[in-house]
Amino acid sequence: MRKMKIIRLSLLLLILLGWAAQAHTEGLPVKDLPHAGKSLVDFLPTGWRVEDEANGDLNGDGVSDIAAILVQGEPVSAEDEPQRALIVLLGRDKEGFALAGTNNKLLECKGCCGVKEGVGISIKKGIIVVDQMSGSREFSNETWRFRYDPQTQRFVWIGRDIDAGDGMRGTGTIESFNFLTGWKITETYHYDKNGERKIVTSTKKEKAPQKTPFIEDVESNWTDSQGAEGR
């Protein structure tokens, strides 16, 4: 009887540990976010803050929208690093904002990308541009582009750039994917003697997959290979 109690307690402990581990990796609590709010602050979960923010018209209605990178103020556990997430809000004139897109699988956690770590977000001609740099001597700067699709009224992934280089040698390779046209352009480069300007040494154009998944479904391969194509 005592042995059975020990086994049951052990199983219960394993289940609890599994739940705790899952909680640590969940990141942004998307299901708990409100559908509407008066400002970006209304969409911030407890313990999260805005790391970077961009404003612009994303759906062509003449009203300013918001795209932002959020980061946890404190991780769930001392063993974890603060998670990052992407959130997109569409402006509703004087009625505040509506939640239009989220992603908690794209950006690497804060403090996980080496000495050259950096994130940024901007809106250019109605396109959301998200980028993240990682590494030290050998670095990777990855950029993702998202556009509003009027038919589905959701944001889709339309492009990706990967700049992988060697800071000491001043050389690198840039891979640019256009998922709307299905083309991939690869350029190799080196910097000039002052280290200020990139000089392209070769260019290659080839077919690439045409795909436009929704912003919520895009996942990065940071943990596998920073230069690999996202899943």
Q: What is the pLDDT of residues 29-75, one digit of tens each?
A: 999 999 999 999 999 999 999 999 999 999 999 999 999 999 998 75
pLDDT confidence bin for 93, thresholds 50/70/90 = confident
Whether residue 99 is predicted with pLDDT greater than 90 in this model: the reply is yes
pLDDT confidence bin for 8, thresholds 50/70/90 = very low
Strand 48-56, strand 65-72: pairing: antiparallel
**Could you tell me which residue, 95 or 87, shows the higher pLDDT?**
87
Whether residue 222 is predicted with pLDDT greater than 80 in this model: the reply is no
Strand 48-56, strand 97-103: pairing: unpaired
What is the rounded (10 degree) CA torsion for 97, 101, 106, 108? 20
Q: Can you give the pLDDT at residue 80?
A: 75
pLDDT confidence bin for 84, thresholds 50/70/90 = very high
CA dist., res. 39 & res. 45, Å (int): 13
158: helix, strand or coil: strand
Q: Can you give the pLDDT at residue 221?
A: 65
Bridge partners of residue 85, in order along the sequence: 70
CA dist., res. 157 & res. 210, Å (int): 11
Q: What is the pLDDT of residues 124-146, one digit of tens each?
A: 999 999 999 999 999 999 999 99
Number of CB atoms found within 10 A of residue 101's CB: 20
Query: Chain-wide mean pLDDT for the chain?
Result: 85
Bridge partners of residue 133, in order along the sequence: 118, 141
